[in-house]
Amino acid sequence: MGEHVVGTVEEIPPGGRKIVEVGGRSIGVFNVGGEFFALRNQCPHQGAELCKGVLSGFVHAEKPGDVTYVRRGEILRCPWHQWEFDIRTGQSWVDPAKVRVRRYEAKVAPGNTLLSEPGGSKELAEAGLEKGLYVAETYEVSVEHEYIVLNL
């Protein structure tokens, strides 16, 4: 399905999320310490809106009394039954061998790289069109922000 711009980097601060509709799918986009990850907004267990769940981490202990909290903000809990999913991979921590949620590639791209080629002559030719004599006055447009792009 290609690449889809879902917002600017400023819209999703670290620890934040944004739920978007792309290609008929509800997808949650998360900012984890400046890295962006995208998951399908549907729990594979019973279909809850997974991306509305609580973000947490894991409690880890090497020995009794030596407890640390790791991966803060990287584990997403389903709002219905608290099933846990890794935001980075989509893997379930309830049944890692069988259950996972669909993960999508998310990247940050400067706005100027998202503009199509000037004139789009290749696209016009493929559509069976060619340039004519009359041309409207145009103005240069620049895009200065960075955008979050999903690849479906």
d(CA 133, CA 142): 26
Q: What is the pLDDT of residue 87?
A: 95
Q: What is the pLDDT of residue 144?
A: 79
By DSSP bridging, strand 84-86 and strand 146-151 are: unpaired
DSSP assignment string, 87-109 = TTT-BBSSSTTT-B--EEEEEEE
d(CA 77, CA 57): 10
Q: What is the pLDDT of residue 121?
A: 59
**How would you write the pLDDT of the chain (152 residues) with one tens digit per residue?**
688 999 999 999 999 999 999 989 999 999 999 999 999 999 999 999 999 999 999 999 999 999 999 999 999 999 999 999 999 999 998 888 888 999 999 999 887 777 655 555 566 666 777 767 777 887 877 777 888 888 88
The reported pTM is: 0.76
**What's the total number of domains in the chain?**
1
CATH code for the domain in which residue 54 is found: 2.102.10.10
Nearest to 85, CA basis, from 60, 50, 52, 61? 50
Nearest to 113, CA basis, from 3, 14, 37? 3
Task: Give the DSSP H or E segment for 36.
Answer: strand 35-40
Give residues with Cβ within 8 angstroms of 148, minimum separation 6: 5, 6, 7, 8, 9, 11, 12, 29, 36, 106, 107, 108
d(CA 102, CA 88): 11
Q: What is the b/e burial string over 106-116, where b = at least 16 CB atoms within 10 angstroms of the residue's CB?
A: beeeeeeeeee
For residue 17, what are the domain limits?
3-151
Q: What is the pLDDT of residue 62?
A: 92
d(CA 42, CA 19): 11
Q: What is the pLDDT of residue 21?
A: 95
One-letter amino acid at 6 equals V
